Structure 1
Amino acid sequence: MKKFIVLFALVLSVLTLAACTNEENELEAVGLNGLTGKEILNGVADGSIDIEGFGLSVYDDELIVIIDGDRIPVAMPKDEFYLSVAPYINMTHECLYHSATGCRGELKSETVFVEFVKDDGTVLISKEMSTMSNGFIDFWLPRDIEGTMTITQGELSVSKVISTVKGEATCETTMRLS
């Protein structure tokens, strides 16, 4: 019985190492091996990482890299929460967890003013920002907070309560400027 347990543990270890090596090889093939979830998302946002050959699904606690149908988890920061927001005027789509390689918002490369105020009154963001070419603005917010995000463009404005607790959405597409 003891030999069986040792053999089982050895086989399980080899299979685990093989799976890790395969995931590392797949990530290497698209230039992502060794990068954190935050580094990957920031690289996609600033254009330094080419999104050819893979997809990205963003959850609150992990980034899923999708390569040829394989779903490879990459850890997200423990103290920061990723939120991608697509303000809109006329058109939007339903979204809960952001697809950093697929989601598209209406207002592409547009300037807006963004303010985020925590429930305790602390102002975390108060500045002019631009939506990216996909119509989204990416934010790295502290985890486990609630606050109000206000986005303004000219005479149009929208406010929404945002939460960064575990399990919250990473994609916000319901902020209609009016």
Structure 2
Amino acid sequence: MRPDALVLQPGTSEEVSAPLDPSTFYLSVAPYRDATHPCEMHSLTTCLGEMRDTEIGVRVADATTGEVLIDRRQRTADNGFAGLWLPRDRELRVSVEAGGDTGEAVVRTGSDDPTCLTEIRLG
């Protein structure tokens, strides 16, 4: 997953790219308690998060104004990630809660920013 496109078979002669809506940014979030991995561009097939199939609370707010963009409960997928469609070119505070534990990170959603967030430790 890149900031501007979904890329299938990256780095091969069969690479296919589907552009994303230029006003949105897809961020994959994998909260953790004990173990994580560094990641910048999310791989839909190989990235694995610790908290698989887990109900989490997700809150996303503008880091400058405090405007709340997302405030909901959702389940992480079988790979441990929760997908978020966010507005592009913003600085946002992402907060995650699970089982009474919370964590947060500030992210940017520009054309060169990571699409994978694996740094939110719950505790």
Q: Which has the higher strand share?
A: 2
What is the TM-score normalised by the length of structure 2? 0.92
CA RMSD in angstroms, aligned pairs only: 1.5
> What secondary structure, in the 3-state scheme, does the structure 1 residue paired with 2:58 have?
strand
166 and 89 in structure 1: CA distance in 2 versus 1, 3 angstrom threshold? same
2:28 to 81, 84, 90: 84
Between Structure 1 and Structure 2, whose CA radius of gyration is higher? Answer: 1
Q: 1:165 Cα deviation (Å)?
A: 1.4
Between the aligned partners of 1:92 and 1:111, the Cα distance in structure 2 is 18
> What secondary structure, in the 3-state scheme, does the structure 1 residue paired with 2:94 have?
strand
- Over the matched positions of the two proteins, sequence identity in percent amounts to 35
Give the corresponding residue for 2:51.
Answer: 107
Amino acid at match of 1:127: R
Structure 1 residue 69 corresponds to structure 2 residue 12: yes
* Gapped regions of structure 2 (runs ≥ 5): none
Between the aligned partners of 1:67 and 1:61, the Cα distance in structure 2 is 14
Q: Which has the higher helix share?
A: 1
Larger relative contact order (CA 8 Å, sep ≥ 6): 2
Amino acid at match of 2:75: S
Number of equivalenced pairs: 121
> What secondary structure, in the 3-state scheme, does the structure 2 residue paired with 1:106 have?
coil
Between the aligned partners of 1:162 and 1:67, the Cα distance in structure 2 is 24
Cα deviation 1:29-71 (Å, max 9, x = unaligned) = xxxxxxxxxxxxxxxxxxxxxxxxxxxxx11012211189322
Give the corresponding residue for 1:172.
Answer: 117
Between the aligned partners of 2:53 and 2:60, the Cα distance in structure 1 is 20
Cα deviation 1:2-34 (Å, max 9, x = unaligned) = xxxxxxxxxxxxxxxxxxxxxxxxxxxxxxxxx
What is the TM-score normalised by the length of structure 1? 0.65
